[in-house]
Amino acid sequence: PAAPAAPPAAPAAAAAPAAPAAAAAPEALCTRWRATAPLTGGSAYGVTVRVVAADRATEGVVSAALSAQGADIAAPGAPARALVVVAAAPASAATEPDLRGFWEQLREVTAALPPQAKVVWVEHRSAPVDEADRALLDPEAAARAFTVRAAAAEHRFAVAALDLDAGDPAETRARQIAAEFTALRPGVNTAVAYRRGIRYAPEQVPAAPGPATPLDGDGYHLVTGGLGAIGRRLVAHLVRGGARNVGIVGRSPADPGAEEFLAQMRLHAEVDYLRCDVADAAALTDAAASFGRRWGRLLGVVHCSGGVNPFGSLRRRPWSEAARVTAPKVAGSRNVVRLARAQGAGHVALVSSIAGALPHAGRGLVDYALANAYQLALAEQSGDDGTTVTAHAWPNWVGIGMEADDSVAAGHSITLDQALTGFTAHLRTGGGVVFPGTAAPDSVPPPAPTTAPPTTAPARTAPTASAATAPAAPRSTPATRPAAEPAPAPAAAAGLAYTLVRDAFVDVLGEDPGDCPLPDLGLDSLVIVDLTNAIERLGGITVDPSLVMRARTMADLAARLPGPAGAPPAAPQEAAGPGTPDAPPPAPDAGGQPAAPAPDLGALLRPLLVHGQQQGH
């Protein structure tokens, strides 16, 4: 059971904390689906594709439709340059999310596909094309579809995430899949839905502000993660808006900076803090009961809890690390929405990120993209119980908490006063609201309402997942390993290693930097991840991203590349070759026969799809 961290003290007559300067409402967008012209023409001639479905019958009919377009269907164990996955239709959106199997299989798939691969990923009930869809929307399926797009953006695959009508005949869905596959071109990252034979595509349109929301009613406001950098600003904003009672929950004990913040807030309202893990439904219910006994009914919830892992490749992120990011935003979001609806609260605001709305913003943080995409989909579910659920997909909040990665913040940033204006305007809009932001301004927002606030949230229980403060894709250097830096490669391998590095730079940057100092190229952390992935893919070796960060030139980087088990680096694989990306071309064995083929993608994916079908996902 949660216990109060400190006694309340609230001189009600004290003046409210000063508000930031008024700001114009920032651009706010929502997603709507529009009918588009049907696809015509196209050919898949000469493309070898692996087809994986939850059942053999679906796999067969999709394979036949692709073959009719000229595609070569890969035999089990044979290499493929494209992948089509058809997930089972979920039985019920009320099923508890179980994303572990999906995550591990996605890691294996991205490692097995070659450069510039084509991926068509098919879900059902993942797109709210109309109001009827909203009642049946499965947030887990929607999150999977978006996460595949974020992973494709990270690994430079062409991808189409399809949402098909499970009520259509299998042959109809197979023809739709084949049409999208043949139309998919390099560099494309898209989402498409089909309903009653009509093709729909998403578009972002202006989001109308929600109804005015008085904050000074009898009862209390619940803020999860309210001692983080974003959470503190929103707590102070609620108090400025007239909230008289605010209950804050979080996993961490209140440190001196947090206690000082609470003391400042208690000059203007009754504010209390309880330790609670929002992913634990029983603990959250207990905390709410404690606040309720003191203040009465729950008026609304602002869900700020979250975490983020160090910036790095999907391939390097096991589920044990990703789960620390998804737990507060997946299980935690479900728990706060259920609590709010059970207690008749007027609204829930999920503090989310554009990493869950824009695929390129999730590169290097695919687990963070998964967590935020789930929140946005959860908010899109319709409900007539009187509780409005809105997920705010925020860009980088300038100067607050962790900054977004340079390439994201350059075009997606927002000031504090803009963010608070947008928060108020869209507190009860309902559904997902995306704040794209603009180019990062030079101004620095006002400090949090405390005399000496820390600029980051208190340390979380899990030491490898940083507290999620700024909601946009955070800037973070790739995780480094404790192992010693490899010694320079032997001279005999230097030429091959340099060729490998040069090919990786050409693959990622489109040019050969030659002897140009790498720091002069302005490589941000996204490009470093891409270069690391390219070197690993082309060379069949494992590379610490910190080597790319520290290298002075391509030659310097090549001299320090490791080889497999201490051997010289492998020769780079041709981009057009059929081999898998994480290993060099198979060498013949002693008898002149090719070595064992790479793991079969069908074998990797089918257990996931069958598991999803059995669990009703």
Distance from C-alpha of 387 to C-alpha of 336, rounded to nearest angstrom: 11
Give the H/E segment covering residue 85.
Answer: strand 82-86
In this structure, what token pair is assigned to residue 604? Answer: 């990797």
pLDDT of residue 334: 97
pLDDT of residue 93: 60
User: Dihedral of CA 105/49/202/360: which sign?
Assistant: positive
pLDDT of residue 18: 61
| Owning domain of residue 55 | 32-203
pLDDT of residue 42: 79
**CATH of residue 91:** 3.40.50.720
Note whether residue 21 is domain-resident: no
User: Which residues are paired to 260 by β-bridges?
Assistant: none
Rounded to the nearest 10 degrees, how much is the dihedral formed by the CA atoms of 64, 69, 72, 76? -30
Q: Are residues 453 and 307 located together in one domain of the fold? A: yes
Pairing label, strands 245-250, 29-36 = unpaired
Q: Are residues 388 and 435 located together in one domain of the fold? A: yes
Q: Three-state SS across 288-322?
A: HHHHHHHHCCEEEEEECCCEECCCCCHHHCCHHHH
Q: Are residues 414 and 528 located together in one domain of the fold? A: no
Helices in 113-255 by DSSP H: which ranges?
A: 131-136, 139-155, 170-183, 229-240
User: Which residues are paired to 199 by β-bridges?
Assistant: 36, 194
Note whether residue 614 is domain-resident: no
Q: Are residues 507 and 455 located together in one domain of the fold? A: no
Cβ proximity of 203 and 34 under 8 Å: yes
Distance from C-alpha of 340 to C-alpha of 149, rounded to nearest angstrom: 31
Distance from C-alpha of 459 to C-alpha of 532, rounded to nearest angstrom: 29
pLDDT in tens, 239-294: 999 999 999 999 999 999 999 999 999 999 999 999 999 999 999 999 999 999 99
Q: Are residues 290 and 321 located together in one domain of the fold? A: yes
pLDDT of residue 348: 98
Distance from C-alpha of 327 to C-alpha of 323, rounded to nearest angstrom: 6
Q: Are residues 155 and 242 located together in one domain of the fold? A: no
Q: How far is CA 396 from each of CA 311, 418, 526, rounded to the nearest angstrom?
A: 15, 12, 16
Low-confidence ranges of the chain (pLDDT < 50): 1-14, 442-446, 448, 450-469, 476-492, 565-601, 604, 606-608, 610-617
Note whether residue 473 is domain-resident: no
Q: Are residues 320 and 436 located together in one domain of the fold? A: yes
pLDDT of residue 115: 81
Note whether residue 188 is domain-resident: yes
pLDDT of residue 150: 97
Give the H/E segment covering residue 432.
Answer: strand 431-434
Q: Are residues 184 and 84 located together in one domain of the fold? A: yes
In this structure, what token pair is assigned to residue 484? Answer: 């010693």
Q: Are residues 182 and 101 located together in one domain of the fold? A: yes
**pTM above threshold 0.75:** yes
Domain count, the chain: 3
Distance from C-alpha of 30 to C-alpha of 46, rounded to nearest angstrom: 39
pLDDT in tens, 96-152: 788 999 999 899 989 889 888 999 999 999 999 999 999 999 999 999 999 999 999
Cβ proximity of 396 and 472 under 8 Å: yes
Cβ proximity of 192 and 162 under 8 Å: yes
Cβ proximity of 490 and 422 under 8 Å: no
Angle, alpha carbons 193-347-326 (nearest 5°): 60
Q: Are residues 184 and 51 located together in one domain of the fold? A: yes
Cβ proximity of 393 and 429 under 8 Å: no
Note whether residue 539 is domain-resident: yes
In this structure, what token pair is assigned to residue 379? Answer: 């908010």
Note whether residue 616 is domain-resident: no
**CATH of residue 552:** 1.10.1200
Q: Are residues 401 and 511 located together in one domain of the fold? A: no
**In terms of Cα–Cα distance, which of 291, 301, 305 is closest to 388?**
301
Distance from C-alpha of 465 to C-alpha of 321, rounded to nearest angstrom: 7
Alpha carbon of residue 430 to chain centroid:
21
Distance from C-alpha of 207 to C-alpha of 350, rounded to nearest angstrom: 16
Q: Are residues 400 and 264 located together in one domain of the fold? A: yes
pLDDT of residue 402: 53
Note whether residue 590 is domain-resident: no
Distance from C-alpha of 6 to C-alpha of 212, rounded to nearest angstrom: 33
